[in-house]
Structure 1
């Protein structure tokens, strides 16, 4: 054990005991009393308020450490669950922090609470929210997350190529330079909230559509009063789509928690749903996946496209 680790360990030992004798500390840390005396001198010179009582040993002055926080089992479990979620959804650095935080929290809980927490942990499990078919894809995604987190903390601009869906599901690529304000996780998928220098406004960028991410030398300051936790985006999904689902699938539709679902109402003829989108391509394939169980009411142009796509699919099958 090096000296720095030993000094910290001595402080923790003093915290748990009223008094500690030099010979007991020397035996515990496998050193000599003279070394312990020097350690105590170093702690005192660094500002640690020590008391030395002849015949009793050393003690910390009352109040140097804050009193222990007494957590109810439910409160401890909440913190452990939160660290479990972080472990599955953030990058490898925070995954390690989450694991060590769990270990430290579990270690300081009273034995009775530890048993209760262990039982409760067996009833809840978090799984990663995003599927990656290749290990390299996950590594690339994680590296983007790390780079963006650093850029946000250092208030540095970033640039990247961005693939964006446009008319008839074609992809449009272009390079963007942005001021990153924060990261937002929606259903396991990470988005960057940033001020786009091209659009002159705040935009949202999905990490999986970014290529060749680079941190720039340029720095920036967030607008006065901007708080990520309170930020509510302007309505950037102006197009409204009205569809009706068959009653046989209405529960499945609602259980999907589909991102673009805006309103829903159960009526005699089925589940009426309003979707809010920027462009119909965002929901086109999702609607197709429901087959004959969904009917597009408006816009009529979307209903026509779905009929054309269904006819094309039928034509492919008939050719076989």
Structure 2
């Protein structure tokens, strides 16, 4: 990137945040801090009102705005890809907001970029194998959660925990959201459990943003949560089971709720691979399929199935 293009990009970066650290600029453009200082000085000499706070970063003086920004073809293609991803991997609220934003972006594209996007649109697809969310769990709260995060407001919600199958009312002080293993999660301090918890958003039945604020500085950051709890939380088991082909069709979409990540035909059977943390919960689901399922791995699940079968036998005896 030549210097003129870099100066323009730095100016756009400055307009995108209240304060931008010199280290952020250096990292983005892979330049030294000394070069950053020279570039900022060049912008100031050109009449751009760039202010600086010692030890904090640079900012644009209030009231200064760039003229409307034009996107090049590659940037427009990247945005189209993002739109396809959001349409499948976001919830109902965020999907609508992103679609509205894309309409505004398309409106400012040059004619040849619009033609390029139209020709490209039919050739990009994101296939989501997750089952659709029913009316019981509307899956439309991502925008509200983002609002509460930005304003530091407490959330109230009714949450259905899969491993206990119990609906509970929670008050949560959110610290972040993340997308993991095909689902969006809300991470926050749960006042009911007095600890940090992750909540799968498609398991939230009702949610409201209160007008009660909380002290964000009392909590760890999202990165700290991920670094700390990824080591202590139970790791998911990789489970492989086989069903006869004719029988496998009866399972339908249930397999997705139990964490299926892959399936393949092996002889006259369909082998399915799941990622699941709770062997007992998964094993009790397998019991519903009787002798029509064969556990391939792990060995712990095979042993647990024997215990569950004995439990059922003793119950009916």
Please give the TM-score of this superposition, normalised by the length of structure 1.
0.53
2-side partners of 1:195 and 1:85: how far apart? 29
Change (3 A) 1:245 1:98: same
Q: Secondary structure at the match of 2:197?
A: strand
Native 8 Å contact 2:175 2:219 kept in 1: no
Say yes or no: does 1:160 pair with 2:162: no
Native 8 Å contact 1:181 1:195 kept in 2: yes
**Corresponding residue number in structure 2 for 1:221:** 216
**Corresponding residue number in structure 2 for 1:131:** 132
Native 8 Å contact 1:162 1:175 kept in 2: yes
1-side partners of 2:180 and 2:102: how far apart? 24
Q: Where does structure 2 lack aligned partners over 5 or more consecutive residues?
A: 1-63, 246-255, 262-270
In structure 2, which of residues 234, 246, 267 is the aligned counterpart of residue 237 of structure 1?
A: 234
**Corresponding residue number in structure 2 for 1:141:** 139
Q: Flag the structure with larger Rg.
A: 1
Native 8 Å contact 2:295 2:301 kept in 1: no
2-side partners of 1:260 and 1:302: how far apart? 20
Deviation at 1:82, TM superposition (A): 1.0
2-side partners of 1:282 and 1:147: how far apart? 32
**Corresponding residue number in structure 2 for 1:47:** none
Native 8 Å contact 1:241 1:274 kept in 2: yes
In structure 2, which of residues 300, 306, 310 is the aligned counterpart of residue 298 of structure 1?
A: 300
2-side partners of 1:229 and 1:99: how far apart? 32
Deviation at 1:241, TM superposition (A): 6.7
2-side partners of 1:97 and 1:239: how far apart? 33
**Corresponding residue number in structure 2 for 1:83:** 83
After superposition, where does 1:53-68 map in structure 2 within 5 Å? Answer: 65-66=66-67, 68=69
Native 8 Å contact 2:159 2:169 kept in 1: yes
Native 8 Å contact 2:295 2:302 kept in 1: no
Change (3 A) 1:185 1:130: farther
Q: Where does structure 1 lack aligned partners over 5 or more consecutive residues?
A: 1-62, 249-255, 262-270, 312-320
Q: Secondary structure at the match of 1:158?
A: strand
Deviation at 1:309, TM superposition (A): 10
**Corresponding residue number in structure 2 for 1:195:** 189
1-side partners of 2:102 and 2:223: how far apart? 27
Deviation at 1:161, TM superposition (A): 3.3
